[in-house]
Amino acid sequence: METSFILDNKSKQLGLQLKQRFEHSSDVQLKVSGVLNTVTSEGQFFGKLNKFLRLGKLPQYTSLDIYRPDTRLRLGIGAKALSVTDDVFFSVNAKKKFSLHKSQDVVRGRPLLNSYTQIVAGVTYDCNLRNQVWAGQADVKLSHAMFSFTKDQDIRVTVGLKAPISPVTGVGNSEPYLRLQENCWGVVVDKHGGWRVTYDL
């Protein structure tokens, strides 16, 4: 299970974030996550079940390749549930990765990854089964990871755009964000001055 501390400028209270992913060989995935507030002891939990279908040719990699992104188009259909509102959603989604660059060396016969750059584009469209309202979000992000940036320090920088999707207004205004990950530490900021800090345990 992945665990981390999380703090943002909205709640202004430290939370313990939990994540667990279960995957089956049939491309069925169950993802469970939650945040436990360390001040109030209140919890918010989220569950997502998806069946995926991948379109396109599986990339061919050699035994020396460390960076092996799956660049096929991934289509998903499933359900989501939120503990806060008890809402259940029918969900459809799509995701596509584009590998732009990678740098690696072979040291004493062992491949070592220096850096990689990729673009990830995705869209999610959900229907709230309680009120039959559809809504979604489109997201595109460019990430560059640098391993051994300094001694014992890895860094990943991500810039992205998120935009809401509505059946009435279509795709709304996009909102940029920036994420910086340094080993266990991470920070996300947006143009409105919002920020979130995480520390992986």
pLDDT at 11: 86
User: What does the chain look like in DSSP terms, one character per residue?
Assistant: -EEEEEEETTT-S-EEEEEEEEE-TTSEEEEEEEEEETTT--EEEEEEEEEEEEESPPPP--TT-------SEEEEEEEEEETTT--EEEEEEEEEEEEEEEEEEEETTEEEEEEEEEEEEEEEEEEETTTTEEEEEEEEEEEEEEEEEETTEEEEEEEEEEEEEETTTEE---EEEEEEEETTEEEEEETTS-EEEEEE-
* pLDDT tens by residue, 37-70: 999 999 999 999 999 999 999 899 988 888 999 9
- Residue segments in the chain with a per-residue pLDDT below the cut of 70: none
pLDDT at 86: 83
pLDDT at 32: 97
Q: For the chain, what's the residue count?
A: 201
What are the structural domains, with CATH classification, of the chain?
A: 2-200 (2.40.160)
